[in-house]
Chains A and B, each alone.
Chain A
């Protein structure tokens, strides 16, 4: 596990339409992928992404619904504008844009999440571990950051 790239995986709870996919994400994610389930991609503050980066994530995955499919009508529209700008801003100060991946899922995309995560992991393996902004002190259990 230690030499596998660490991935922070922000998942909109409505975006996986197939129950099998959601079950796989909930129960069988590899250990190097840290799942953060959110009510909508609109809930993902850029600060959350930064915290993942500072906490040592080699890559960040954000999965959400396509434009018209948002459970809350327009949460994903707001999220895309912000997070797109944020990932290119992180690139500006040295965190490779390729390490932030958006996956916008549709009804027919059964099984796509597994493929995307595997593919993303193999891409991250080719890049070196992202150390430049990983400055956060490791959290201890029950600490102030919980």
Chain B
């Protein structure tokens, strides 16, 4: 058990035993190798199963909307989860006063697929240090550099520290470089129109419409998603090109000014489809047009909800008035 795990358990135990929260959301030891599972602790005795390491891949804010507003929730938050919580509080999905955020500065989430690709699937155990991951398989053991195993969206992470946690455990980390996301979007914009369409199609058309990206996303909490609506049916529901294109375009667009670039969608995708180049583009546009970044505080409304008459200068008068 690491020192950090100990601190998290102690804090969770305090919250539960003092009756400050009804449930603590964190992670527990995995049933499948390399894949710690989200866990919901309601009594102190269970906390011995609580773990935290770089392989905890889910965005826990996703489970916030499954509890009624009165439930007092203690939850483990990393930088991205904290921003997702902020965005959800802005959208009135839970009262901030009923949340107790246990913040942990995050050094990035390890992509278990990258580990499996390097070591094979017969993994017996692993150990994590600041700079590397030791993996034991039946045949041999590996020492892999941690930085290279990180998820792509974690390598581009800008705010690894929780922004509005009630308590922060562990040392604050240096901020990431915002240029990494921007440069990736700009590189894509610089391609020709035909190349962009070809890339989009190549990614989107692999989609099997399992909606794992939607289920993993904290901001996708609609009771009925536009693709499930069937009277009228707004999009083709099969894995036809029309259906998969529409899903990827509109799913991303519904995240405009709400996506916190946590990358949970890509981590959840069984087909390894790239999606963050779409949401990051929208995030960049929102920053350029409205100087808005999602989840940076628990008050600011996203651009699509905060339009004003001052927008008038953006309407082109055109015609006789130009």
Which A residues form the contact surface with B (CB < 8 A)? 46-47, 50-51, 54, 66-68, 74, 77-78, 80-82, 84-86, 88-90, 92-94, 96, 102-104, 106, 108-109, 112, 115-116, 132-133, 135-137, 144-146
Residue numbers in B under 8 Å from A116 (CB-CB)? 318-319
Residue numbers in B under 8 Å from A106 (CB-CB)? 317, 321
Q: How many residues of B contact A (CB 8 A)?
A: 44
A46 with B197, Cβ < 8 A, contacts A67-B309, A81-B303, A112-B319 known: no
- Besides A74-B307, A80-B315, A89-B253, 16 more A-B contacts (Cβ < 8 Å) are A66-B312, A74-B309, A77-B307, A80-B314, A85-B282, A85-B285, A85-B286, A89-B252, A89-B282, A92-B188, A94-B197, A94-B200, A102-B315, A108-B320, A132-B194, A137-B242
Once A and B bind, how many residue pairs between them come within 8 Å at the CB atom? 114
A77 with B311, Cβ < 8 A, contacts A46-B253, A103-B318, A104-B317 known: yes
Shortest A34–chain B CB gap in Å is: 17
A145 with B233, Cβ < 8 A, contacts A46-B253, A67-B309, A94-B193 known: yes
The 9 A-B residue pairs with the shortest CB-CB distance in the complex, in nearest-first order: A94-B197, A67-B312, A135-B242, A77-B307, A135-B241, A93-B200, A136-B242, A132-B197, A94-B196
Shortest B230–chain A CB gap in Å is: 8
**Which segment, of B10-18, B76-84, B243-251, faces chain A?**
B243-251
Contact with A along B295-322 (1 / 0, CB 8 A): 0000000011001110110111111110
Residue numbers in B under 8 Å from A81 (CB-CB)? 303-304, 307, 311
Contact of B316 among A74, A92, A102 (CB under 8 A): A102
Contact with A along B276-303 (1 / 0, CB 8 A): 0010011001100100000000000001
Shortest B313–chain A CB gap in Å is: 9
- A133 & B197 in contact (Cβ 8 Å cutoff): yes
> How many angstroms from the CA of A38 to the CA of B249 in the assembled complex?
23
Residue numbers in B under 8 Å from A51 (CB-CB)? 234-235, 246
B128 at interface, CB cutoff 8 A: no
